[in-house]
Structure 1
Amino acid sequence: MSALPHSAASRHFDVIVIGGGAAGMMCAARAGQRGRSVLIIDHATKLAEKIRISGGGRCNFTNLDVGIANYLSRNPQFCRSALSRYTPGHFIELVRRHGIAWHEREHGQLFCDDSAQDIIDMLRAECGDGHVSWAMPCKLEGIERSDGDAARFVLATSHGQFSCQSLVVATGGLAIPKIGASPLGYKIAEQFGLAVVAPKPALVPLTLPPEELAIYKELAGMAFDAIAECGAGHFRENLLFTHRGLSGPVILQVSSYWQARDYGGDDGSSQITINLFPAQDVRQWLAEHARSKALLGNLLAERLPRRFAHAWCDARNWNRPTNQFNGKELDAIATALAGWRISPDGTLGYAKAEVTLGGVDTRALSSKTMEAREVPGLFFIGEVMDVTGHLGGYNFQWAWASGHAAGLAA
């Protein structure tokens, strides 16, 4: 890691990147390797903590199947260009070149065999190859526009004043404040007249209203396979009960769509629909067991966790022998099992969120370069933008792709 130069002349850089996370280091490395003088400014004392803790400490660094359908944005086509020009294959090649061992898990997710620190070390090495300088920890105190083409921006910091031709904002979103998340990037955007789509926690556990929580809170820790849907979101993974409501991968996935229900294209539903029989035709299954003398809860326990099956039936006054239900009632039960509707009353917030939904409105940015159209030299990359990926390596791939795009242009 290059030390910060101290001479007066070295206070000017071609590119300054605010934020030393995934997108910021990718951008800085690419710009530096093009021959641009680059400085990364970051307020943290530890480098790239969000990478370090990701994927259970092994960093789910990308996904083999990436497309615009894996992202939410008010400008849904925006991410297409960058993702097509820097693909998972490009990042995998970089990982291989640095000798990092990795493996594939379900749904095309790729993880380090050893540690997320391998990805941090790789990005730091790439920055080293580009002779990137660092100011860290360093607090940004203010930004001003400059009239000169060479020095379009002047930054006041705890390390003194710096100037640059290109300023790249890679400050991330509001998720996981305990490792330093802040609204700094949004404030910079607003300072320069760019709109910000109101941020919300995404990929986040959901809370249930008290009356529903009372039914299921004793099931905390129980998990099972399910399909969850909300608006355009449709996912099949594990659902997990918690002391506050629902979590697990399928809920984290659909939570983004529940939070984004005011986005164009969604149906505006405040409900989430859960299919408790994701692998079977529930109507046919119930018809085959219509003459069973078993309590419905006991019958459902053949396919669902027993305690959940009974709690679910008890809440609907359905826990009686199955053969006592008529055809119309069995049809209603089948409909409920395939479409259990829940109405969350909130989320566990940014402290438990994986990422932030919303951010800098991409309609003000170039999809090719990430540069603000009305503010030459100002770029936004990564999570600070209104581009939010699904769970499973998609947000890291957006960091790499957007950082790469800006690094080639800044």
Structure 2
Amino acid sequence: MSKNGKIIIIGGGASGLAAALAAAKECGGQCVTVLERLDRVGKKLLATGNGRCNLTNRNAAPEHYHSADTARLADILERTPPDAVLDFFGEMGLLCDTQADGRVYPYCYQASMVLDVLRAALERAGVDVACSCEVAEVEKGPGGFSVRTRDGRAFSAARVVLAAGGQAGPQFGTDGSAFALARMLGHSVAEPYPCLVPLRCAGFPVGLKGVRANCALSLYLDGRCAGTERGEVQFAEYGLSGIPAMQLSCLLGPGVKKAGTSVDFFPEMAFPVLRGMLEQRCASGMFASLETLLLGLVAKKLGHAILKSCGLQPLSRAPGSLSRREVNALASALKNWRFAVEGTLPWTQAQVTGGGVPLAEVKTEGCASLRCPGLYLSGEVLDAAGDCGGFNLQWAWATGIAAGRAAARGL
């Protein structure tokens, strides 16, 4: 069995690379080996922030995350805050730009630059990176860990950091195999589910693909409103996308029996005010037909779909002929356009994984396993899914830095 370092990092994504560099700083790069299943590290990182890499968010706090154990999550976040992450990258020479909403990007707004900086730092530190190296089995013995790959290679180490991601974006190498490795080492896994992913809706109107609208989107679970997000919603042939829909997808965990959405196109306008405005438009004589009644209020395709949902056909009908009941129905649709949610798009469309190894099974300091001494877990393999806006990368960096540091100490 080859002796390829005292610390093995399984996974060459954001969290794994952070763990490798943090460990190398503590004990020297010659002690650290990164095993990556793909032919290069950081492939998923290149796709973050639409290729711009929303590196972190200065407002990272528990309310921006979804986990079964928010108390432990808060403790982990507090130990490695965004400023510590920015110091970590600053030491590597990365200049960053912070936006008014707290989002942080590399100054050149290129994800490739973040990866280039990380790779250069790995090379300077002397960290050994082995790509096309898919881990199939990890065993803990009296002398440490034995790690075997699918192509028959064998490695040993005193300590292991499991940073192989979750299940979202299998095209980037994160296909859920990390959970099998966690189970091999004695951990449980809360059922994974896709997060930050578009919603599939039943009976969705045809012809709305590509239409966008600024509105408030609410998610109802078993009849109760579970959350509301505001922003630009994108309509598609399958249902709803855009940041509001993707944020709400994090609430669709396992066990949800009945889900639905409500679209409010006028969140700043009370129902009576909207109804009064529609009544005035109907009586004004300005609009020759229902086809033009909603012009200036919502996109034309949306207006037609909403009118149809209220049974207001044909569109050639004069607005002045609408009854009070019909105006009420139209105002209700504009304030509360409802759709049943069948689920989400598949894992290939998800940005992050909900569920995973419970935080109760790791120490909040250093993310050390409470079930397998010498094992550390970081990133998406843990039960924490963040909102859009750099929160998931903050979790990846923070837990990776903490795990790598802790794994190296005392060797």
Q: The TM-score by the shorter chain falls in which range?
A: 0.7 to 0.9
For 1:384 and 1:204, the matched residues in 2 are separated by 18
Instruction: Summarize the Cα distance change of 1:382–1:223 in structure 2 as closer, same or farther, 3 Å threshold.
Output: same
Return closer, same or farther for 1:222/1:195 CA change in 2, 3 Å cut-off. same
Deviations 1:120-153 (A, max 9, x none): 12222333454322222213232221113xxx21
Residue equivalent to 1:138: 133
Contact 2:306/2:334 (<8 A) preserved = no
Q: State the 1:227 CA deviation.
A: 1.4
Q: Is the 8 A contact 2:199 2:345 kept in 1?
A: yes
Residue 346 (structure 1) aligns with: 343
Partner of 1:89: 83
CA contact (8 A) 1:82 1:368 kept: yes
The separation in 2 between residues aligned to 1:80 and 1:146, in whole angstroms, is 33
Deviation at 1:322, TM superposition (A): 5.2
Aligned match for 2:10, one of 18, 25, 29: 18
1:140-170 deviation line (CA, Å, top 9, x unaligned): 232221113xxx2111234732211221111
In 2, are the aligned partners of 1:144 and 1:154 still within 8 Å (CA)? yes
Equivalent residue for 1:306, pick from 297, 300, 308: 300
Deviates more, 1:380-389 or 1:116-125: 116-125
Question: How far did residue 352 of structure 1 move?
Answer: 1.2
What letter is aligned with 2:64?
A: N
**SS at the partner of 1:284?**
helix
Describe how 1:40-79 pairs up with structure 2 within 5 A.
40-79=34-73
Preserved contact between residue 17 and residue 167 of structure 1 (Cα < 8 Å): yes
Q: Please point out which of 160, 174, 177 is paired with 2:170.
A: 177
Number of aligned positions between the proteins:
390
Answer whether contact 2:189 2:357 (CA < 8 A) is retained. yes
Name the aligned partner's letter for residue 340 of structure 1.
W
Q: Distance in 1 between matches of 2:356 and 2:399?
A: 14
Residue 225 (structure 1) shift: 0.7
Q: Which residue of 1 aligns with 2:380?
A: 383
CA contact (8 A) 1:356 1:388 kept: yes
Task: Output the amino acid matched with 1:365.
Answer: V
Note the C-alpha offset of 1:64: 2.6
1:229 correspondence with 2:226: no
1:324 positional shift:
4.8
The residue matched to 1:92 in structure 2 has which SS?
helix
Cα distance in 1, alignment partners of residues 5 and 357 from structure 2:
25
What is the distance in 2 between the residues matched to 1:84 and 1:233? 25
Alpha carbons 1:42, 1:137 under 8 Å: kept: yes
Q: Does 1:355 align with 2:352?
A: yes
Pair 1:248-2:237 in alignment: no
2:402 aligns to what?
Answer: 405
The answer to whether the 8 A contact 1:60-1:111 is kept is: yes
**Given the superposition, is the C-alpha separation of residues 261 and 183 from structure 1 closer, same or farther in structure 2, using an over 3 Å criterion?**
closer
Specify the code of the residue in structure 1 equivalent to 2:299: P
Give the structure 1 partner of residue 222 of structure 2: none
- C-alpha spacing 1:145/1:206, structure 2 compared with 1 (3 Å): same
Higher alpha-carbon deviation: 325-334 or 244-253: 325-334
Deviation (angstroms), 1:232:
3.9
Deviations 1:48-89 (A, max 9, x none): 100112212111111232110111112222221221122222
* Pairing 1:116–2:131 present: no
Query: What is the aligned partner in structure 1 of residue 120 from structure 2?
Result: 125
- Distance between the aligned counterparts of 1:287 and 1:273, measured in 2? 21
| Long gaps (5+) in structure 2 | 220-224
Task: From the superposition, tell whether residues 296 and 62 of structure 1 become closer, same or farther in structure 2 (CA, over 3 Å).
Answer: farther
Residue number in structure 2 paired with 1:3: none
Give the superposition deviation at 1:234.
2.4
Could you list the per-position Cα deviations for residues 154-198 of structure 1 after superposition, in whole angstroms to 9, with x for gaps in the alignment? 112347322112211111112222222222211012112311111
SS in 1 for 2:47: helix
- Preserved contact between residue 282 and residue 337 of structure 1 (Cα < 8 Å): no
TM (normalized to structure 1)?
Answer: 0.87
1:31 aligns with 2:20: no
Kindly state the Cα deviation for residue 246 of structure 1 after the two structures are TM-superposed. Answer: 1.8
Aligned-pair distance for 1:374? 1.9
Q: Evaluate the alpha carbon distance shift between residue 292 and residue 136 of structure 1 in structure 2; reply closer, same or farther with a 3 A threshold.
A: closer
Report if the CA contact (8 A) 1:30-1:130 is conserved. no
Structure 1 residue 106: Cα displacement: 7.0
Displacement of 1:11 after TM fit? Answer: 0.8
- 1:348 deviates by 1.9
